[in-house]
Amino acid sequence: MRCIICHDYRIEVMEVKEEVTVGNDIVYVPVRIPVCQTCGERYYDRRTFQFLEDVE
């Protein structure tokens, strides 16, 4: 897998805290997703995206 932003190959699955806005509050939800180690671009799959929508 290659990063679409910086074209590097250093993409690793990491646990990150995703910021989700719920009304006037911001909550941090831990998710495991591939993250580019070079530029920090995050790659969401459909399931993760759905999960975050469910949280909202």
Report, in Å, the least distance between residue 40 CB and Zn ion: 7
Enumerate binding residues for Zn ion (CB under 5 A). Answer: 3, 5-6, 36, 38-39, 41
Q: Closest CB to Zn ion among 43 and 51? A: 43
Q: Give the residue from 25, 21, 26 showing the smallest Cα distance to 53.
A: 21
Number of neighbours of residue 8 by Cβ within 10 angstroms: 13
Q: Both tokens of residue 25?
A: 């509050």
Q: Closest CB to Zn ion among 8 and 45? A: 8
Report, in Å, the least distance between residue 7 CB and Zn ion: 7
Q: 43, 35 in Cβ contact below 8 A?
A: yes
